[in-house]
């Protein structure tokens, strides 16, 4: 069974693309903002003694292109870069660091929690977050599905070549300084991330706010790729801190600058009111007993906010997902109905439901009828019962994929659109999502960053990869001796004790097996460029205690980076 669905773009989303046309904007005569070459802007503050860069673009190669566009706009096109400010740790803001901070005399400013946030992003959930980001950003979609579409906060641009340089100046609550002859006030301004800082230029009344104003869209309080909880009221307080400046110019790290004190004040007021309205009304209705599903059906922005384009439009964030995030942030996952305490496994629930509905053919027929009637969500839900019973049910996959395409092409929200369309490609076997995972994970963990992380921390992550069911009778120690790298020689161990891998900060005398390997091999293991068995067989690792066969047996207790079965997010 085949379905023909012509590619389309929601007209308002298509029109939104013009917001990210490639252009260098000059603000207050000396701040130059490159919009459209990267998913995040890079801004250059021109001072008497050189340049201060705020955010870097999403890769070293893209940063080079951005600099070539910016230089002709400067009074002194050869002015040296004196400092780089990174407003927070996300890749599109920091992955061009090695280009702008190419020499040791360039200071890099970041919040004092920046490194912790960046390392956490590169840690236990690195690989699933990388995969989910592929879905959210539409990186696997073909040209027919990306032409004329933006990423809601920027152009649909490439991710670039990731890079990293260590910060040299860490900012606490606030820092008043002068760089390149320009007075700067850097202050902690958490919103999208807890490590966010904003920059105020008192002599020209310019605010560079990073992603505290996320760009020309309703803020993304919850991101579908996954992240730690984003506190809405902390975000509101940070916007209020921006409002207190009464600035004449506002430069977000996404989208066009905003000029005029009245216009800046209006944009800031609308953004903070949208967030607080959703938060307050969600909490109010939570206290009336509404569940996450009921909240999503009930809470809507009032017209005066919802219609404020583009800053309150749901190109990136959505009310339906924000209310769920707020519920989970306050109360956790449980909605209050004990039926959810220990539900039937999904496949078993699907089998029983399909049987009650009269069997596969009846359900498939109903899904097809729903699709033909334009009831695409219902068609997809019906087909999902069948794909949970049999992942290879091609007829069910076909109708579900077609329904997803119809839903995706109609979406104003680009994250929803990308998930629908990428999942449709997955259902139709057009993509194998696991293949780009390794390369995309490197976007969140540039090799330059991984080189700075202690090997002990990278090895501790193996505790989350132990196949416990195969290690319930195991009680032994695997030692690691790591040579080289900026941290010098490191020795740690994993005590595999009946299904738990306990991390030890030294190798005990009774360790059954001790591996010796260079720092570069540990990094390659973390980034998925090799695996432990392969490193041992290829000579990139060796045993200095215990035999190679014993080492291989222990290594086989840990999951490889790539899952043992295809990672199909849509078919679960």
- Domain architecture of the chain: domains with CATH: 11-330 (3.60.15.30), 454-555 (3.30.1050.10)
Two tokens, residue 457? 């921390």
CA–CA distance, 412 with 199 (Å, rounded to integer): 32
Q: State CA 218 to chain mean position distance.
A: 17
Q: Give CA 351 to chain center in angstroms.
A: 35
The pTM of the whole model exceeds 0.75: yes
What distance in Å separates the CA atoms of residue 444 and residue 337, rounded to the nearest whole number? 38
User: Helices 261-286 & 232-243, crossing angle to 10 degrees?
Assistant: 160
Predicted local distance difference test score (pLDDT) of residue 449 = 82
Query: How are beta strands 81-85 and 50-54 bridged, if at all?
Result: parallel
Q: How far is the C-alpha of 447 from the C-alpha of 514, rounded, in Å?
A: 26
- Taking 70 as the pLDDT cut, the residues of the chain under it are 433-442, 561-568, 571-572
CB 245, CB 207: distance < 8 Å: yes
Close Cβ partners of 323 (under 8 Å, ≥ 6 residues apart) = 278, 282, 292, 295, 296, 299
Please state, in angstroms and rounded to a whole number, the distance separating the CA atoms of residues 117 and 192: 12
Question: Cα–Cα distance between 269 and 534 in angstroms, integer?
Answer: 56
**CA 215, 219, 222, 225: dihedral to nearest 10 degrees?**
-20
User: What is the pLDDT at residue 562?
Assistant: 57
DSSP 212: S
On the question of a cis peptide bond just before residue 567, with omega within 30 degrees of 0, the verdict is: no
Phi, psi of 204 (to 5 degrees): -125, 5
State residue 572's pLDDT score: 65
66 contacts 245 by C-beta, under 8 angstroms = no
| Rounded Cα distance, 38 and 20, in Å | 10
d(CA 553, CA 533): 9
Supply the DSSP string of 447-497, one letter for each residue: HHHHTTS-HHHHHHGGGGGB-GGG-TT-EEEEEEEEE-STT--EEEEEEEE
The encoded tokens of residue 336 equal 């209050």
Q: Nearest 5°: CA angle at 288, between 283 and 292?
A: 60
For the record, the structure tokens of 105 come out as 């005399």
Q: Which of 478, 540, 541 lies closest to 510, judged by CA?
A: 478
Distance between CA 461 and CA 440 in Å, rounded? 19
Give the number of other CB atoms < 10 A from CB of residue 2: 6
Q: Report the C-alpha gap between 549 and 527 in whole angstroms.
A: 25
Q: What pLDDT score was predicted for residue 439?
A: 57
User: Six-digit token pair at 566?
Assistant: 């295809």
Q: What is the pLDDT of residue 460?
A: 93
The pLDDT of residue 548 is: 85
Q: What is the pLDDT of residue 416?
A: 97
Residue with tokens 């995969």: 131
Longest Cα separation, the chain: 78
Q: What pLDDT is recorded for position 524? A: 83
């Amino acid at each position: 069974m085949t379905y023909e669905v012509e590619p389309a773009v929601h007209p308002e989303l298509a029109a939104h693309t013009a917001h990210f046309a490639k252009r260098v904007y000059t603000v207050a005569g000396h701040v130059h903002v490159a919009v459209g070459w990267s998913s995040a802007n890079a801004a250059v503050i021109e001072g008497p003694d050189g340049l201060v860069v705020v955010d870097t673009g999403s890769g070293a190669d893209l940063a080079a292109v951005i600099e070539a566009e910016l230089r002709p706009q400067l009074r002194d096109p050869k002015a040296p870069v004196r400092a780089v400010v990174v407003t927070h740790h996300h890749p599109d803001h920091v992955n061009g660091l090695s280009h702008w901070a190419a020499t040791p005399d360039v200071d890099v400013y970041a919040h004092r929690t920046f490194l912790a946030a960046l390392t956490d992003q590169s840690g236990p959930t690195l690989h699933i977050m990388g995969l989910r980001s592929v879905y959210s950003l539409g990186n696997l979609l073909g040209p027919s599905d990306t032409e004329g579409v933006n990423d809601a906060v920027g152009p649909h641009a490439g991710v670039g070549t990731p890079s990293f340089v260590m910060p040299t100046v860490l900012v606490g609550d606030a820092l008043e300084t002068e760089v390149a002859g320009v007075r700067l006030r850097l202050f902690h301004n958490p919103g999208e991330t807890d490590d966010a800082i904003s920059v105020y230029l008192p002599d020209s009344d310019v605010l560079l706010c990073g992603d505290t104003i996320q760009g020309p869209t309703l803020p993304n309080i919850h991101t579908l790729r996954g992240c730690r909880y984003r506190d809405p009221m902390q975000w509101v307080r940070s916007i209020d801190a921006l409002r207190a400046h009464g600035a004449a110019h506002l430069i977000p790290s996404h989208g066009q600058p905003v000029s005029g004190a009245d216009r800046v004040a209006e944009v800031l007021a609308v953004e903070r009111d949208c967030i607080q309205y959703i938060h307050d009304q969600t909490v109010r209705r939570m206290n009336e007993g509404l569940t996450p599903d009921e909240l999503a059906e009930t809470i809507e922005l009032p017209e005066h906010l919802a219609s404020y384009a583009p800053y309150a439009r749901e190109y990136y964030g959505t009310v339906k997902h924000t209310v769920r995030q707020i519920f989970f942030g306050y109360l956790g996952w449980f909605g209050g109905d004990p039926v959810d305490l220990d539900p039937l496994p999904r496949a078993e629930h699907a089998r029983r439901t399909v049987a009650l509905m009269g069997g596969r053919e009846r359900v498939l027929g109903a899904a097809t009828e729903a699709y033909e009637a334009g009831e695409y969500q219902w068609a997809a839900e019906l087909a999902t019962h069948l794909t949970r019973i049999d992942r290879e049910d091609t007829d069910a996959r076909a109708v579900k994929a077609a329904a997803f395409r119809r839903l995706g092409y109609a979406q104003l929200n680009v994250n929803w659109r990308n998930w629908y369309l990428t999942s449709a490609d997955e259902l139709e076997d057009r993509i194998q999502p696991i293949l780009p995972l390794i390369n995309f994970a490197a976007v969140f963990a540039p090799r330059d960053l991984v080189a700075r992380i202690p090997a002990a921390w990278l090895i501790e992550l193996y505790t989350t990869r132990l196949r416990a069911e195969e290690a319930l009778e195991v009680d032994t120690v695997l030692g690691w001796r790591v040579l080289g790298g900026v941290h010098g020689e490191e020795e740690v161990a994993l005590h595999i004790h009946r299904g738990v891998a306990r991390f030890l900060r030294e190798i005990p005398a009774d360790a059954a097996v001790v591996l010796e390997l260079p720092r570069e091999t540990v990094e390659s293991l973390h980034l998925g460029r090799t695996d432990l068995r392969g490193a041992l067989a290829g000579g990139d690792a060796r045993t200095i205690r215990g035999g190679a066969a014993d080492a291989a047996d222990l290594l086989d207790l840990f999951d490889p980076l790539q899952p043992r079965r295809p990672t199909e997010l849509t078919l679960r």
